[in-house]
Structure 1
Amino acid sequence: MFRAARHLGSLARIGWHLARHDALFPLRNIVGLTPFLRVARWVRPPAEIVVGLREGQRLALALQQLGPSFIKLGQALSTRSDLIGEEVAADLSTLQDNIPAFPGSEAVAVIEAEMGVPLSQRFSRFEPVAVAAASVAQVHFATTTDGTEVAVKVLRPGVEQAFARDLDLLLWLAEQLERFQSMRRLKPVEVVGRLAESVSFEMDLRLEAAAAAELAQNFANDRDFRVPAVDWLRTSRRVLTTERIRGVPVGDRAALVAAGHDPKDIVSKAAGAFFAMVFRDGFFHADLHPGNLFVAADGAIVAVDFGIMGRLDRRHRFYLADMLLGFLTGNYRQVAEVHFDAGFVPASESIDAFTQACRSIGEPLMGQPLEKISVARLLSQLFQITRTFKMETQPQLLMLQKTMVLAEGLGRLLDPTVNMWALSRPLVEDWMAINRSGPARAMLTAGEALAGLERLPALMGDFERLLRQLSHGGLSLDPETVRAIRGSESGRNPMIWPLWIAALALAAMAIAQLVAATH
């Protein structure tokens, strides 16, 4: 009861704020709320600052002013164009963590508490004024005791408690919304759950450091894309220290040109890096807004802020490559077959009808100039029609779609005449030719079979234990069966031998596949 009363007070404040920004539209489909929305609009007329703005723009502005937790909520919703619509999702994707900085003295206190030593034992110089501030942390420039220039990211004091309080409110609200039939398709509890999962990851900067180190390792031999090195000695749960990078913000086109960089060349490098992250490695930076990318003096793109990362396993990478090439070549049957083969669309649905739906998305793109084609929009429309065909949500692909929206926006900002997906297409086709060839598929199948065989002894042991438990579990078994299950005095179970024979047969099949794949 106390929880509900507390949250109702907070909810009234939020509703008042949304009404001021004319951003109550997400609630208009709830039965019984229409009169309330009309009254709210009359009591609290929209402010002048939102006049002429689209719905998504008004909601983004309201969430930004509500504070850090609601900014994160908007960023999470920006990946769900299948639920809130393409235009609103695109507007929410512009949300940035532009939050006032906290005092440098508090940052020093956090660092000393985490390091267990005075600041001077780790840094010879520490700039008290933050150079960037977001909802979870802020960044200060410093110099280590060995003379290395670094960037120090420090969690906001009390940020864990603040997010926990707001997330509890959002979860309570989501639970109330799910009581309405019209809101269940939006899966509000699931959205808040994913938001909580993302925030908990960002609250431990050691995890971000590990993500940065993994991405750096993946691009160790790449001259066009770099990741700042992590200083592990000066990194902990609430502090992350990396080498300081120097460069021009990728979103400042005029400064890039003035520094002698070619925007088309930068787009090309960004496309190559994005392809490598998604297809080659299956591990990508999922927050590629202009504030997180810089261009170094040598022309390399340098990324920062690795709190939000995405992963794609090999199966999803194959799906994505097949689907994109199918759309770009007008082979809509291939697009449909990819979805059915991957199990994304139930076999009970009509593949012909799904092919027709895919054609409705792809045909408007045919004959269009490459710079007019948006792959992010294509994915968004695909996710919307798949709801009709009972396709389950694929979280990895939703995060990728959000990243594509940001990457496309970045490419068009640098050079509107260049399409970064057209630049990536030859790379995707080459990758497909190598990784989807007959020998490659055979090797993959053989590898999966051998991996399964490695798990067989453990499975056999589990099965044997299960049989022994059944023999003592009160089931009605005849004496001969019990003796067979117990086996000899040495503990060996003769009933297991047929299973081992089957395992050897599987091993022979896997070896045969492996031999065939190498010829």
Structure 2
Amino acid sequence: MSSAVKARPNISRLLEVRSVFKRYALLSLLDDVELPRRIRFAATLMLGKGGKADEPRGPRLRKALEELGPVFVKLGQALSTRPDLIPEDVAVELAKLQDEVPPFEPDQAMAIIRQAYGTELDSIFASIDTEPLASASVAQVHAATLQPGLAIAGQSRSGSEPQTHDNVVIKILRPGIEKIVRSDLQVMHFFAGLLQKYWSRGRQFRPKEVVQEYENTILGELDLRVEAANGARMGANFEEQDIIYVPRIYWDYTQRNVLVMERIYGTSMRNIDKVRADGVDLEQLAADGVSVFFKQAFEDNFFHADMHSGNIFVSEEGKWIAIDFGIMGTLSDADKHYLAEILLGFFNRDYARITRAHFRSGWIPADTSAADFELAVRLVCEPIFAKPLSEISFGKVLMELFQTVRRFEMPVQPQLVLLYKTLLNIEGLGRQLYPELNLWDTAKPFLEKWMKQQLSPKALIDSFVEQWPYIRQELMIAADQFRAKLNHTDDLSSTGVQQRTHSHSKKPWLWLGGSGVALWFGQSFIAHQTLQTTGLNMLSTLFTLSVSPLELIAYSAVLLSLWVLSRG
């Protein structure tokens, strides 16, 4: 995706960033970075050597980002989950960054709400607390009460019914935040471009893509309708389960810069002692958190990617409550297969399986030695097994694997980075609640069952039936092209012109025809093998799609003839 932020950086902001970098002697962060001599000299001129570095690099970078403001703070938070990009000591320090800023004035907040709805506030809200519940870099949240009768506009969500239907929270976008975000993104793109161009490992680590991913994330947070849609989707995914509660969204009162949702009541996971004191079954709560993670990642293809302690609460009944749906992740089927394969390979100490999964993904250069790759994975994983499984961190295993495969020039996969971040958060929260939590006991049977389901004959047939309308369209196009080819041949024959079809012809219609035949007969074979158990369902589905068996036979015959001609 091309950047939405194209303009050159604001010079005054660039100078301000330079001044902060110089004050905290951040040029030293480039000591381990291989740069051409002239570029290092230019960096020294631009950033300055600064004062004496009397603190380690991690704390200096953290303080600099805090001083530069919320956009840089959020970037630091994102980088803290990227051990493939930054050293561990820096990552640990950046994880301490808090997205908390002073609130803006209540009068401003009320004016924004009034402008969003185009009406007086008391026509919608019986009351609004002027003191915000929370204030962050992008938005702040106020408690409110809807006027009687308006609560029906709320959309019911998953889990048990909320305690009240008219107590809500109003999330208000910070005034002027978009201008600030775009200005700082310009500066980030500027520095990332220099690194990628002149750093010897810039092609591997791709800093421009790192900033682009961050841009996509933070710009998405500037439209609160996106967050509302994310929350509604996650709530629907858990509607039949009560292991996690998702607040309801009030769509009638949600705009680009104002979001209204149900107010939840629970104990923040930042107050872990209070959760323990409430008498909650901590072992079950921790296990539920693991189940929430795997369901989101492997069943829903949609996961909350910002599940830190500030966004997670626990109800009196001992259930998880999630808020803040601004950052969500998705996984493709290929991503899920990749993850399942490497994790199952780790469980079984099958390093060849892990190696095959990486090569099949297409992310490893084709000329890489599989033997060298497998040895590198073995050297990382074998020492881990010296510990009991209950003491092995799921997140650290993935971190070690990511760091290893990066040596083989595997490009960054942003969706997997988000998942890794989510896993670290869930695992960290779970082990705070129940230190003996063993994610492996839950993960291995879940992944084995999931893989078995994905490779079952029924799953393959279901996939074929789902794709059949598109396959049918391609078959019809191929048949039309075949008829056109025959007509053209007849025309040539009538004028005495002879034409030979060569077996090595590369014409698209021949390849399409051959592919169609292979696809159809392959799927027919699968269908034949499982017809005894799924035949009725298959036939009923075909009739539902208005596909005649004779039509299928006819298309297959035409394409088979086409394929034979292409061989002739």
Give the alignment's TM-score, normalised by structure 1: 0.84
> Is this contact kept in 1: 2:347–2:444, CA < 8 A?
no
Match of 1:27 among 26, 30, 42: 30
- The reply on whether 1:382 has 2:384 as its aligned counterpart is no
Compared CA separation, residues 279 and 500, structure 1 to 2 (3 A)? closer
> Is this contact kept in 2: 1:15–1:24, CA < 8 A?
no
> Is this contact kept in 1: 2:62–2:76, CA < 8 A?
yes
Which residue does the alignment assign to 1:16? 19
Which residue does the alignment assign to 2:74? 72
Q: Which amino acid in structure 2 is aligned with residue 386 of structure 1?
A: V
Deviation larger for 81-90 or 146-155: 81-90
Which residue does the alignment assign to 1:213? 232
CA distance in 2, matches of 1:331, 1:515: 33
> Is this contact kept in 1: 2:346–2:354, CA < 8 A?
yes
Match of 2:268 among 225, 249, 254: 249
Which residue does the alignment assign to 1:488? none
Q: Which amino acid in structure 2 is aligned with residue 159 of structure 1?
A: I
Q: Which amino acid in structure 2 is aligned with residue 99 of structure 1?
A: V
Which residue does the alignment assign to 1:372? 391
Compared CA separation, residues 5 and 160, structure 1 to 2 (3 A)? closer
> Is this contact kept in 1: 2:223–2:256, CA < 8 A?
yes
DSSP-derived class of the 2:84 partner = helix
> Is this contact kept in 2: 1:411–1:419, CA < 8 A?
no
> Is this contact kept in 2: 1:446–1:511, CA < 8 A?
no
Match of 2:196 among 150, 159, 178: 178
Q: How does 1:72-471 map to 2 (within 5 A)?
A: 72-146=74-148, 148-182=166-200, 184-185=202-203, 186-436=205-455, 438-440=456-458, 442-443=460-461, 446-447=464-465, 450=468, 452-456=470-474
Measure how far apart 1:321 and its partner are. Answer: 1.4
Q: Which amino acid in structure 1 is aligned with residue 343 of structure 2?
A: L
Compared CA separation, residues 43 and 278, structure 1 to 2 (3 A)? closer
CA distance in 2, matches of 1:105, 1:6: 30
Q: Which amino acid in structure 2 is aligned with residue 309 of structure 1?
A: M
> Is this contact kept in 1: 2:144–2:168, CA < 8 A?
yes
Measure how far apart 1:60 and its partner are. Answer: 2.7
DSSP-derived class of the 1:129 partner = coil
CA distance in 2, matches of 1:172, 1:5: 7
> Is this contact kept in 2: 1:101–1:133, CA < 8 A?
yes
CA distance in 1, matches of 2:184, 2:479: 47
- The reply on whether 1:513 has 2:526 as its aligned counterpart is yes
* Residues 9-65 of structure 1, C-alpha deviations (whole Å, 9 max, x = no match): 433432332344454443332444767769978753457xxx4x5x33432332123
* Residues 163-204 of structure 1, C-alpha deviations (whole Å, 9 max, x = no match): 111111221222233331336243222122111111121111
Give the alignment's TM-score, normalised by structure 2: 0.78
> Is this contact kept in 2: 1:78–1:90, CA < 8 A?
yes
Deviation larger for 207-216 or 388-397: 388-397
Compared CA separation, residues 419 and 96, structure 1 to 2 (3 A)? farther
Deviation larger for 407-416 or 352-361: 407-416
Q: Which amino acid in structure 1 is aligned with residue 411 of structure 2?
A: E
Compared CA separation, residues 25 and 283, structure 1 to 2 (3 A)? farther
* Residues 308-364 of structure 1, C-alpha deviations (whole Å, 9 max, x = no match): 000012221121112112112211111111112232324432222211111111101
Measure how far apart 1:85 and its partner are. Answer: 3.3
CA distance in 1, matches of 2:317, 2:67: 39
> Is this contact kept in 1: 2:65–2:72, CA < 8 A?
yes
Q: Which amino acid in structure 2 is aligned with residue 44 of structure 1?
A: G
Sequence identity (%): 35
> Is this contact kept in 2: 1:93–1:406, CA < 8 A?
no
5+ long unaligned stretches in structure 2 = 1-6, 152-165, 496-507, 533-568
